[in-house]
């Protein structure tokens, strides 16, 4: 891969976008490599996914304006569908995902972070959806996910004004889960990822599914779904070992994903 680095350690997959000279802007090449990498991740070897951008200036500064500037209406719609398909693949990975936001997360970068389950930001992180200032709308899910994360009124304000948000404001409105000093960003995000990876992986996956699917339905249907997922955990090795360890006042000897 030429614009993406992929590593696995301690059951955590780390994906790093490596276009620092372009502030890790998303072009067709980056999106294609990201999609191919995400499609190859398997739950039996990866229990959490961490995404970041190379360098200290940008997570992802946005879509590649140089590539987009000459697009026709049809090409623009195709580019949007490409990004949405890949970001949806990220969003629907069975294992939890964490964005480690180390600088600019604007436009497509903010949308990439929104596609992750959890967002950890550096104090230098800057978020925003500045597309209206370029004569376009958010095209990689910003109009849909931002409203679901921060609420409709705030999402409209952010998108309609195109204003940037500093990390502390992003934390205050619930756009990010935590803000840390730049030198602690990757260690904090990786520690969170390994903590998740240390838990019963099947239980984590079905908890994510219950949350995501439940939010798309009414409360009664969501509770019924939760009961089904709750029941599927019983008689698994991990449930038997986890509860036995609790009763015996010891740590589990290891979760095996079955």
| Residue-wise burial string across 197-225, b where 16 or more C-beta atoms lie within 10 A, e elsewhere | bbbbbbbbbbbbebeeebeeeeeeebeeb
Cα–Cα separations (whole angstroms), residue 109 to 72, 131, 136, 222, 225:
22, 12, 16, 31, 33
- Number of residues that this document lists for the chain: 258
Angle at 192 between CA 186 and CA 194, to 5 degrees: 100
Question: How many Å apart are CA 74 and CA 76, to the nearest integer?
Answer: 5
Whether 29 and 22 have beta carbons less than 8 Å apart is answered as no
The residues assigned a catalytic role are 111, 131
Whether 95 and 201 have beta carbons less than 8 Å apart is answered as yes
Q: Residue 140 phi/psi, 5° resolution?
A: -115, 35
Which DSSP letter does residue 177 get?
S
Task: Characterise 174 by phi-psi region: left (phi > 0), alpha (psi -120 to 50), beta (else).
Answer: left
């Amino acid at each position: 891969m030429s614009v993406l680095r992929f590593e696995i350690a301690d059951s955590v997959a780390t994906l790093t976008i490596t276009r620092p000279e372009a502030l890790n802007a998303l072009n067709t090449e980056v999106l294609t490599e990201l999609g191919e990498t995400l499609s190859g991740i398997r739950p039996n070897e990866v229990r959490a996914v961490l995404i970041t951008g190379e360098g200290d200036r940008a997570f992802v500064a946005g879509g590649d304006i140089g590539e987009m500037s000459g697009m026709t209406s049809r090409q623009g719609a195709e580019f949007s569908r490409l990004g949405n398909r890949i970001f949806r693949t990220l969003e629907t990975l069975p294992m939890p995902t964490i964005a480690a936001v180390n600088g600019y997360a604007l436009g497509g970068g903010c949308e990439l972070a929104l596609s992750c389950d959890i967002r950890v930001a550096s104090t230098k992180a800057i978020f925003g959806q500045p597309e209206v200032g370029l004569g376009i709308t958010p095209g990689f899910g910003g109009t849909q996910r931002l409203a679901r994360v921060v609420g409709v009124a705030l999402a409209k304000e952010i998108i309609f004004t195109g204003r940037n948000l500093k990390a502390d404001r992003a934390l205050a409105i619930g756009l990010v889960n935590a803000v840390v000093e730049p030198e602690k960003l990757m260690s904090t995000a990786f520690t969170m990822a390994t903590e998740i990876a240390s838990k019963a992986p099947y239980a984590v996956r079905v908890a994510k599914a219950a949350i995501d699917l439940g939010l798309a339905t009414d409360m009664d249907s969501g509770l019924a779904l939760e009961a089904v997922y709750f029941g599927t955990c019983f008689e698994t090795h991990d449930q038997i070992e986890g509860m036995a360890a609790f009763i015996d006042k010891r740590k589990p000897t290891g979760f095996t994903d079955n």
